[in-house]
Amino acid sequence: MNKIARILVPLFPAMALLGCGEQSVSYLSDVQPFLDKYCMRCHGADGEGSEVSGLRMDDYESLMKGTKYGPVVKPGDSFTSALVMLVEGRADPSLKMPHDGNKTPSQAEIERIKTWIDQGAKNN
Ligand code: HEC
Is residue 22 lining ligand 1, measured as CB closer than 6 Å?
no
Tell me the pLDDT of the chain (124 aa) as tens digits: 677 677 767 666 666 666 556 789 999 999 999 999 999 999 999 999 999 999 999 999 999 999 999 999 999 999 999 999 999 999 888 889 998 877 899 999 999 999 999 999 999 9
Q: Which of 30, 36, 42 to mutate to test the pocket of ligand 1 (most atoms within 8 A of CB)?
A: 42
C-alpha 5/C-alpha 44 separation (Å) is 49
CA angle 34–38–44, rounded 5-degree value: 95
Distance of CA 22 from the midpoint of ligand 1 (Å): 29
Report the atom number in ligand 1 closest to the C-alpha of 82. Answer: 29
